[in-house]
Amino acid sequence: MAKTYDYLFKLLLIGDSGVGKTCLLFRFSEDAFNTTFISTIGIDFKIRTIELDGKKIKLQIWDTAGQERFRTITTAYYRGAMGIMLVYDITNEKSFDNIKNWIRNIEEHASSDVERMILGNKCDMNEKRQVSKEKGEKLAIDYGIKFLETSAKSSINVEEAFFTLARDIMTKLNRKMNDNSSSGAGGPVKITENRSKKSSFFRCTLL
């Protein structure tokens, strides 16, 4: 069968244990089905399909699934990754401080041109907040990385985060392709800003 998509991006979720990385992959964070069987073995990765500027993009999203506890995240895990979500918990200062260590880990092991994004998760829990939004923004600016506060529980910015990262990867790819074929055939790849047409990521479109 012919290929039914335009792009395929491998994305990783990185961050301390308990910051809610796995929940970012749920549509129903609290209502996850979680059979004993499935929660025992754990999820390796998920495939999600999104549409961006009329292009069909397959995202293969990997969750560290607890390996971060043992600091065993190495080159093998990062291989082929085109985008990385760095996740901390706004109610846990330590997880925020560790973002710097995770960035160092990425610089050591991942491809140098991997797209990165910082997410301050659990922003629905404002009363327990330990890390201000400004602090998160400043860190992101220092590293030249995009930043969003998210809540997997309340579905705040989760979809936006994945769309933003996918868009950045796509833009980078298109730029590379243009550079490579600047003397050859084919005009520049046109990227139209049309966010209104985006398909729903975490909501199923019923017919």
Partner 1 sequence: MEPAAPSSPAPPAPAAPSSPSLSSSSPSSPSPPPAAAPGSAELVCAQGRNLKAVLCQRCGSRVLLPGAATFARRELLLPAMKKKAVAAAAASGGDVVREHWLVRDMFSFENVGFTRDVGNVKFLVCADCEAGPIGWHCLDDKDSFYVALERVAHE
Name the 3-class secondary structure at 190.
coil
Among 6, 45, 129, 171, binds partner 1 (CB under 8 A): 45
- Compute the distance between CA of residue 118 and CA of residue 141 in angstroms, rounded to an integer: 10
Size of the site for partner 1 (CB under 8 A): 38
Residue 143 CB, nearest distance to partner 1 (Å)?
29
Name all contacts of 102-108 with Cβ < 8 Å and 24+ positions apart.
102/14, 102/15, 103/143, 105/14, 105/73, 106/14, 106/78
Q: Among residues 38 and 177, whose Cβ is nearest to partner 1?
A: 38
Residue 138 CB, nearest distance to partner 1 (Å)?
31
Q: Among residues 8 and 141, whose Cβ is nearest to partner 1?
A: 8
Phi, psi of 17 (to 5 degrees): -65, 140
Q: Which among 21-29, 80-88, 111-119, 172-180 is the span making contact with partner 1, rule CB under 8 A?
A: 21-29
Our finding on whether 143 is near partner 1 (CB under 8 A) is no
Our finding on whether 76 is near partner 1 (CB under 8 A) is no
Among 14, 19, 24, 25, binds partner 1 (CB under 8 A): 25
Nearest Cα residue to 78 out of 45, 47, 110: 110
Our finding on whether 202 is near partner 1 (CB under 8 A) is yes
> Given strand 83-89, what is the order of strands in its sheet?
55-63, 7-14, 83-89, 115-121, 146-149
Tokens encoding 196: 């209104």
Q: Among residues 34 and 132, whose Cβ is nearest to partner 1?
A: 34
Footprint on this chain of partner 1 (rule: CB under 8 A): 1, 4-5, 8, 22-23, 25-28, 31-49, 58, 60, 65-66, 202, 204-207
